[in-house]
Amino acid sequence: MEKRYHYLICSLAILLYACQIQAAIGDSYSEDWQQRRLMHPTPSDLSREQAGHIMIYDGLTDHQVATAMDRYFNRIQSMMFTGIVVTDLDGAPKTDPDTGDFITENDGCD
C-alpha cells in the first residue's frame, strides 16, 4: 500500500513540474508556434486548410496579421484572428495606461 502512495506522489510531482514548465514557456512558445503555422505552414497544414479547416490565431499583433494577409491572401479563408494586439508606429504593443495590459482590437465577439 505504501508503494502505491509513493508512486502517486511521484506522479503528481512530475505533473506539477510539467505544468510549471508549460507556464514558464507559456505565451512565447504559443506565439512562436502560431507564427510558424501562419507564416511557414507545412504541407500537412496546407492540406488541412484546403480541406476546409480553419486555424484560429490569438494574440498576434496587428502588424503580424497585416503581413500574413498581404503575403498569403489565398489562405485568408482558413485564418481567424482574435485578440489582435494594437501596435504603435514602431511596432511595439500599445498598453492601457490604467491596467498595463496590451490594447487589443475589438473582435466583435462580446
Instruction: Give the best-scoring range by mean pLDDT among 25-39, 60-74, 95-109.
Output: 60-74
104 found inside a domain: no
Our count of domains for the chain comes to 1
| 75-109 residue pLDDT tens | 999 999 999 999 999 989 999 999 989 989 886 66
Q: Picking from 19-28, 48-57, 65-74, which range would have the lowest pLDDT averaged per residue?
A: 19-28
Helices (H), the chain: 2-39, 43-50, 62-71
46 found inside a domain: yes
52 found inside a domain: yes
67 found inside a domain: yes
Sign of the dihedral defined by the CA atoms of residues 12, 17, 20, 25, in that order: negative
- Reading the block at residue 19, the C-alpha cell is 505544468
89 found inside a domain: no
91 found inside a domain: no
Structural domain boundaries enclosing 71:
27-82
